Copies of this chain bind each other. A is one copy, B any other.
Amino acid sequence: MTNKKKATIKDIANVLNISPAAVSKALHDDSRISTKTKEAVKKVAKDLNYQPNHLASALRKGKSHLVGVIVPRTNSNFFSSVIQNIEEVLNKEGYNIIITQSNESYKKECNNIDTLLFTQVDGIIASMANETIDLEYYKKVKSKGIPLILFDRGENDLNVDYIGINDYDSSHMIVEHLVKQGCKRIAHIGGYKHTRIFNNRIRGYVDALKKYDLPLDNELLIESSLTIKDGREKMLQLLSLKNRPDAVYVAGDYAALGALQILNEQHINMPKDMALVGFGNEPFTSMVTPTISSINQHSAEIGKLAAKTFLEHAKKATIKQSLNKIILDAELIVRDSSSIIKK
């Protein structure tokens, strides 16, 4: 039990007086090894508390069976749920994952990529930092010939697989919902335009306004970092307008929360005087008062699909990156902050 030195294949071989090669094959149920030997090997392996040395086999086979995951942060429900599902799918196939956080910083992201490559991961599943514009570093991954799968952030920016939701349609759903509630002036606190998903949400918002013949007022369309703090500031900005909106669609739940705080502090009635819709369906949206309507991004499915996409690449030796772009339909969860018309 308290064997300091770890048992190796060689130790097993010595006990049974057979070659290490035979032991290796026995442990892998090779058809050319007799059942008798296999049983003996497995018994001794157990007795010696043998644990295969992953490093050695990975080195020999040229596969680490590790997959790198890069997310902006793990303490958002969306990302942690995606991660959990990636892990679940990959663990079943004998892969482990290494999770790294970029904290929305491009520099940290580059660092993460380097350490992942250094650790010889077999693939990388990533969602880009807000800051990331330069894609050189991601090209480095591609040039190494290991699969790269993006989710949520990064659609189309590189020519790789992507899993995400339909941001453009989501905006349409939200605007349509607000119009049905009787809103006439709908504002949008959006993310940075250079991030494709946020740009898509903005385009969806603009096009939906046109569709419903609503005013497209430049004052009502604001770019934001989507933090709580910035949500507060941008909400104040909207309230200071001569012609206030009667609804705000915020492209992120944290910023929506900031907006809600301001509205509560100023005793502005939600949803009557101001309807509010967020994006992401973070758990707190149903915890605060009033509860915030939001878009469910199908985090579990995104995680599972990202993992499966990686596995497809891993299985076929040919590294032909056949673009696998999966766009899921999102779902609008209507809560108190935008339920003007009760059923």
Contact = CB atoms under 8 A, between A and B. Distances in A.
A119 B97 CA distance: 11
Contact of A84 (B55, B101, B287): B101
A91 interface: yes
Main secondary structure of the interface of A (DSSP, over half): mixed
Contact of A77 (B75, B97, B144, B288): B75
Interface string A35-66: 00000000000000001111110110000101
A6 B66 contact: no
A181 interface: no
A257 interface: yes
Contacts of A4: 145
B115 A87 contact: no
Interface string A1-26: 11110100000000000000000000
Interface string A294-332: 000000000000000000000000000000000000000
Nearest to A81: B75
A48 to B, nearest CB: 13
Nearest to A111: B91
Interface residues of A, number: 50
Specify which of A3, A59, A103 lies most central, judged by the most chain B CB atoms within 10 Å of its CB.
Answer: A59
Contact of A80 (B75, B96, B98): B75
A177 B73 CA distance: 35
Contact of A54 (B76, B83, B101, B120): B120
Contacts of A83: 74, 101
A2 B80 CA distance: 34
A173 B325 CA distance: 54
A264 interface: yes
A89 interface: no
A137 interface: no
A289 interface: yes
A174 to B, nearest CB: 22
A52 B59 CA distance: 12
A144 B6 contact: yes
A335 to B, nearest CB: 14
Given A6-B144, A287-B287, A59 B66 contact: no
A264 B289 contact: yes
Contacts of A143: 1-3
A333 interface: no
Nearest to A103: B84
A199 interface: no
A54 B99 contact: no
A98 B1 CA distance: 26
Contacts of A111: 91
B117 A51 contact: yes
29 contacts: A1-B143, A4-B145, A51-B117, A51-B118, A53-B59, A53-B120, A54-B118, A54-B120, A55-B55, A55-B64, A74-B74, A74-B99, A75-B75, A75-B76, A75-B77, A80-B80, A83-B101, A84-B103, A91-B111, A91-B115, A96-B98, A96-B115, A97-B98, A98-B98, A257-B287, A264-B289, A284-B287, A287-B288, A288-B289
List of 3 A-B pairs having minimum Cβ-Cβ separation, nearest first: A75-B80, A74-B74, A99-B99
